[in-house]
Amino acid sequence: MRVELTVNGEARTVEVEPRMSLLDCLRERFLLTGAHAGCEHGVCGACTVLIDGAPARSCLMFAVQADGYAITTIEGVAPGPGELSLIQDAFCETHGMQCGYCTPAMILTAHALLTDNPAPTRADIVDAISANICRCTGYAQIVEAIALAAERMRGLNQPMREP
Amino acid sequence: MKPASFEYARPADLDQACAMLAAGDDVRIIAGGQTLVPLMAMRLARPKRLIDIARIPDLAFVRHERDGIAIGATTRQCVLERDAVVRAAVPLLAKVMPFVGHAAIRSRGTVGGSLANADPAAEIALIAVTLGATLIYRQGAASAEVAASDFFIGPMMTALPAVACLTAVRFPRWRDARIGVGFHEVSARRSDFAFASAAAQVALDDSGVCRRLALGIGAVAACPLRLDSVATALEGTRVELPVAREAVRAALADIEPLSDLHASADYRRRAATSLAMRAITDAYRAAEGGACALN
**pLDDT for position B192:** 83
Angle, helices A86-93 vs A140-156, to 10°: value is: 140
**pLDDT for position A160:** 66
pLDDT band at B190 (very low <50, low <70, confident <90, very high): confident
Asked whether residue B201 carries a pLDDT value surpassing 70, the answer given is yes
Q: Which CATH superfamily is domain B178-288 in?
A: CO dehydrogenase flavoprotein, C-terminal domain (3.30.390.50)
Q: Which long-range contacts (CB under 8 A, 24 or more apart) does B18-26 make?
A: B18/B138, B18/B139, B18/B140, B18/B141, B18/B163, B18/B164, B18/B165, B20/B49, B20/B51, B21/B51, B21/B162, B21/B163, B21/B164, B21/B165, B22/B140, B22/B163, B24/B48, B24/B49
Domain positions in chain B are: 7-52, 62-172, 178-288
Using CA atoms, how far apart are residues B187 and B164, in angstroms rounded to an integer?
A: 33
**pLDDT for position B289:** 86
Percentage of residues in chain B having pLDDT higher than 90: 93
Q: pLDDT tens digit string along B221-262?
A: 999 999 999 999 999 999 999 999 999 999 999 899 999 999
Domain positions in chain A are: 2-76, 86-156
Question: Can you tell me the ipTM of this complex?
Answer: 0.91
Chain A nearest-CA distance from B105, in A, is 6
- Looking at the complex, does the CB of residue A116 fall below 8 Å from at least one CB of chain B? no
Chain B nearest-CA distance from A155, in A, is 27
Does the beta-carbon distance from A65 to B30 stay under 8 Å? Answer: yes
In the CATH scheme, what is the code of domain A86-156?
Answer: 1.10.150.120
CATH topology of domain B7-52: 3.30.43
Does the beta-carbon distance from A56 to B3 stay under 8 Å? Answer: no
Residues from B in contact with A at Cβ < 8 Å: 1-8, 30, 33-34, 37-38, 40-42, 50, 52, 54, 78, 98, 102-105, 107-108, 189-191
B52: chain A residues, CB-CB within 8 Å: 64-65
**pLDDT for position B144:** 97
In the CATH scheme, what is the code of domain A2-76?
Answer: 3.10.20.30
CATH entry, B62-172, from 3.30.465.10, 3.30.43.10, 3.90.700.10, 3.40.50.150: 3.30.465.10
Q: Mind listing the pLDDT tens digit of every residue in chain A (163 residues)?
A: 999 999 999 999 999 999 999 999 999 999 999 999 999 999 999 999 999 999 999 999 999 999 999 999 999 999 999 999 999 999 999 999 999 999 999 999 999 999 999 999 999 999 999 999 999 988 999 999 999 999 999 987 666 666 5
Does the beta-carbon distance from A57 to B190 stay under 8 Å? Answer: no
Q: pLDDT tens digit string along B82-93?
A: 999 999 999 999
Does the beta-carbon distance from A19 to B54 stay under 8 Å? Answer: no
Does the beta-carbon distance from B104 to A130 stay under 8 Å? Answer: no
Q: Which of A24, A51, A61 sits opposite B37 (nearest CB)?
A: A61
Does the beta-carbon distance from B107 to A54 stay under 8 Å? Answer: yes
Q: Which of B1, B54, B191 sits opposite A65 (nearest CB)?
A: B54
Using CA atoms, how far apart are residues A57 and A17, in angstroms rounded to an integer?
A: 19
CA nearest neighbour of A56 among A29, A35, A32: A35
Q: What is the pTM of this model?
A: 0.93
Q: State how far the alpha carbon of B19 is from the alpha carbons of B5, B30, B35, in Å.
A: 22, 15, 24
